Amino acid sequence: MNRIDPGDNVDMSGVEWRQSRGAYSGRNSEYTKPFGYRAGVYTLGYAYKGRGNFIVWMHTRKGQKDLVLNNIGAQRGERTVVLKADDEIFFDVLATGNWELTFERKR
């Protein structure tokens, strides 16, 4: 993914937009499918069933990259995530086990 300066004009046509919530799951390390979300404050819910590192990066088409989780061992919980602009996002998950993520706009 190429980095885009925040002032750049980014073509968002063809983006599959989600209204307010997304759910993702997988096993071991992988990228989630990208979806479009509106700017705002979101809750990232997570559950991890592995023993090793559980690292989650959030990337956007416009170049925002945030480390949202960096933990070790089985766990579940929530984190607050801020999406600075309407954008397409995907998660880069580094793990050694089953995991689930939910991404839901706070009301």
| CATH class name, domain 21-105 | mainly beta
- Reported pTM: 0.80
The torsion angle over the Cα atoms of residues 60, 23, 30 and 12, rounded to 10 degrees, is: -30
| Structural domain spans, the chain | 21-105
Residue-level pLDDT, tens digit, the chain, 107 residues: 334 444 444 454 555 555 657 889 999 999 998 888 989 999 999 999 999 999 999 999 888 899 999 999 999 999 999 988 888 999 999 999 999 999 999 87
* Whole-number Å distance between alpha carbons of 98 and 6: 34
